[in-house]
Amino acid sequence: MELPNHAKQLLLQLNQQRAKGYLCDVIIVVENALFRAHKNILAASSIYFKSLILHDNLINLDTDMVNPSVFRQILDFIYTGKLLSSDQFSDHNFNALLTAASYLQLHDLAALCRKKLKRNGRSLLNKPTTSTNGRTSRNQRLSSTPVTPNQMSGLKDSDKTKRHEELLKDDLSEDEMFVRNAHCATSANSLSPSTSKNGSNGSCGMQELGLDLSKKSPSGSTATEEVSPSSIPQESPQSASESIANSASFDENTNTQNLTSGEPMELGGGECEESQPPPDVDQHKSSRQVARQRRQPKSEGRKCEDAERGTLPNGVAKRLNVAGERLPGGGHGNSEVSFQCKDDEEGLENGQEQSEESGQSESDGGRNSTNYVYRQEGFEPALGDNLYVCIPCGKGFPSSEELNAHVETHTEEELYIKEEEDDSYPKEDEVEAEDLSSQITHVHSTESRRFSCSVCNKSYKDPATLRQHEKTHWLTRPFPCNICGKMFTQRGTMTRHMRSHLGLKPFACDECGMRFTRQYRLTEHMRVHSGEKPYECQLCGGKFTQQRNLISHLRMHTSPS
């Protein structure tokens, strides 16, 4: 007994899920575009994907072998078994597809392309011929003898680059080359409004953000062989899928990115430059790093636990639910959408309240749980595209910038939160922490701090800093994360947050190759190698490499136990 359409229906469902980001657990980065997908599907389609996604949730494909538009077609093919017929399927397109399919070891697709090219009478796949300019088409040569990623990675960089250049020349039409560049430029502009405002300078936005995708998940097959610490994403599959799904959810709601099936999420630019080989850090790998590699799965589980307990960043936790609620098209209610950890027994039926409350109380002490507007909270059908809502007046705005501008038109009295019960600055734990910190550092002199906050009386040296501080009292957070939607008061914090989404760690340790999202972390880390312990406990003489550990230690001294 066999259901005739079972496989077809299954694929259909999976493709729909992909379009909505449901249960997607891997991000594929192609140039500046992000694609979400399901690991199982990719693994079932290609040995190459299978090996890549085994250790990584963020895959960065070699941009010389595949470009975003081609990869979109490929992804569609993987999920549907069909190559959409359209005018765009020129021979050039099939060549590009063939190259990419070979690179990704999608043998069926490669065979289809070869067949199509052969049918068009232009295929030189099986019998290399001389092209009009007398050159042998290296693309076709490659296609007939697919280069496995391992083979490719075995090439010297120079050879690889050369080969890529050859492939590019042969595979991509002038138009495609143009599109690639234009794509880069436009996506730099499609970065968050704030970033795009700064212009792209002809480079892709990632670099402006300090986001180096190639460093995160190097192209080629390195991930298939040995997983360097840097290639292990910090993001659990769970959080990755949350991010993607959540991103999709409000993309669909806000039409800001207008995702369609397989359409790349315009992250806001990527590197136009050729992907760089990963730094060879394996031989420097410390035992600790190896240990960390080992425990990575556990830390993923930990994030699941965090989600359960609502200790994930509030925006993430919240969108986890919102994504389920607000997906358009009906039929995708909460019951169908589940981004829970697989071992989550408790479920998220009441998870929205949990994540909203506990999630925020964790990181923000609960202070902003009622103060700040999240886009989803402001999302009402009546608001249309004006999803950035000002709480005091209820007006909606299409962008954070406009909301920001609007907020500034309010008077201070309107803007500041009159919550006497919560405005006991500093809070108790802050006082305690300050007591501890005061044992290490001295209190700032207030003499030169002429500019004081009218809300909490904190004083600052210059008006700009005061203004920056005052924004922390605002009702809104003007800088949303493009991936999870979490809002931030400072753009820099949001940018930093984005790095954690993407597992981007631009700051590498020269000693062991370990990578960090922040320079300061690297500085901190370097003391591990130098053995420097500049922080000394005045009570017991204990020395520490990090100030925070000294503070933690001091807490041990001062605690009643």
Measured CA to CA, the distance from residue 81 to residue 44 in angstroms comes to 13
Q: Should residue 291 be labelled a site residue for DNA when binding is judged by CB under 7 A?
A: yes
Site string for DNA, 360-399 (x = CB under 7 A): --xxx---x-------------------------------
Closest distance to DNA from the beta carbon of 436 (Å): 6
List 397's β-bridge partners, or say none: 388
Q: In 3-state terms, what secondary structure has residue 239? A: helix
- Interface residue with DNA among 208, 212, 271, 356 (CB under 7 A) is 208
Closer residue to DNA (CB): 352 or 490: 490
Closer residue to DNA (CB): 76 or 235: 235
Q: Should residue 13 be labelled a site residue for DNA when binding is judged by CB under 7 A?
A: no
Closer residue to DNA (CB): 143 or 545: 545
- Interface residue with DNA among 430, 450, 454, 510 (CB under 7 A) is 430
- Interface residue with DNA among 434, 463, 510, 558 (CB under 7 A) is 434
Q: Should residue 441 be labelled a site residue for DNA when binding is judged by CB under 7 A?
A: yes
Residues in the chain: 561
Q: Which of 466, 440, 438 is nearest to 452 (CA)?
A: 466
Q: Should residue 444 be labelled a site residue for DNA when binding is judged by CB under 7 A?
A: yes
* Contact predicate 366/360, CB 8 Å: yes
* Contact predicate 210/495, CB 8 Å: yes
The stretch among 92-100, 123-131, 293-301, 317-325 that binds DNA (CB under 7 A) is 293-301
Please give, one letter per residue, the 3-state secondary structure of 51-119.
HHHHHCCEEECCCCCCCHHHHHHHHHHHHHCCCCCCCCCCHHHHHHHHHHHHHCCCHHHHHHHHHHHHH
User: Residue 301, class by beta-carbon neighbours within 10 Å (0-12 exposed, 13-18 middle, 19+ buried)?
Assistant: middle
Closer residue to DNA (CB): 91 or 305: 305
Q: Should residue 177 be labelled a site residue for DNA when binding is judged by CB under 7 A?
A: no
Q: Should residue 195 be labelled a site residue for DNA when binding is judged by CB under 7 A?
A: yes
Closest distance to DNA from the beta carbon of 213 (Å): 16
Report residue 331 as tokens: 């039929």
Closest distance to DNA from the beta carbon of 90 (Å): 40
Closer residue to DNA (CB): 151 or 446: 446
- Interface residue with DNA among 40, 80, 107, 210 (CB under 7 A) is 210
Measured CA to CA, the distance from residue 216 to residue 236 in angstroms comes to 15
- Interface residue with DNA among 181, 299, 350, 424 (CB under 7 A) is 299
- Give, as ranges, the residues between 223 and 242 that touch DNA (CB under 7 A): 234-235
* Contact predicate 246/318, CB 8 Å: no
Q: Which of 101, 105, 14, 102 is nearest to 52 (CA)?
A: 105
DSSP 330-393: SS--TTT-----TT-SS-STTHHHHHHHHHHHHHHTTTTTTTSBPHHHH--GGGTT--EE-TTT
Compute the chain's Rg from CA coordinates. 26
The stretch among 94-102, 122-130, 357-365, 395-403 that binds DNA (CB under 7 A) is 357-365
Closest distance to DNA from the beta carbon of 469 (Å): 3
Closer residue to DNA (CB): 64 or 306: 306
- Give, as ranges, the residues between 301 and 330 that touch DNA (CB under 7 A): 302, 305-306, 309, 311, 313
Degrees, nearest 5: CA angle 11-14-17: 155
- Interface residue with DNA among 118, 380, 556, 558 (CB under 7 A) is 556
Measured CA to CA, the distance from residue 272 to residue 213 in angstroms comes to 11
Size of the site for DNA (CB under 7 A): 82
Closer residue to DNA (CB): 165 or 412: 412
Q: Should residue 465 be labelled a site residue for DNA when binding is judged by CB under 7 A?
A: yes
Closer residue to DNA (CB): 399 or 545: 545
Q: By 3-state DSSP, what share of the chain in percent is helix, strand and coil, each rounded to 5?
A: 50, 5, 45
The stretch among 1-9, 102-110, 180-188, 441-449 that binds DNA (CB under 7 A) is 441-449
Measured CA to CA, the distance from residue 188 to residue 436 in angstroms comes to 45
- Give, as ranges, the residues between 484 and 543 that touch DNA (CB under 7 A): 486, 488-493, 495-497, 500, 505, 514, 516-521, 523-525, 527-528, 533, 540, 542-543
- Interface residue with DNA among 40, 80, 90, 194 (CB under 7 A) is 194
The 8-class DSSP code of residue 452 comes to E
Closest distance to DNA from the beta carbon of 378 (Å): 17
- Interface residue with DNA among 298, 335, 443, 560 (CB under 7 A) is 298
Q: Which of 306, 298, 297, 422 is nearest to 369 (CA)?
A: 422
Closest distance to DNA from the beta carbon of 261 (Å): 29
Closer residue to DNA (CB): 67 or 231: 231
* Contact predicate 472/493, CB 8 Å: no
The 8-class DSSP code of residue 127 comes to S
- Interface residue with DNA among 38, 72, 138, 469 (CB under 7 A) is 469
Torsion angles phi and psi, residue 484, rounded to 5: -110, -15
Report residue 330 as tokens: 């009906």
The 8-class DSSP code of residue 274 comes to P
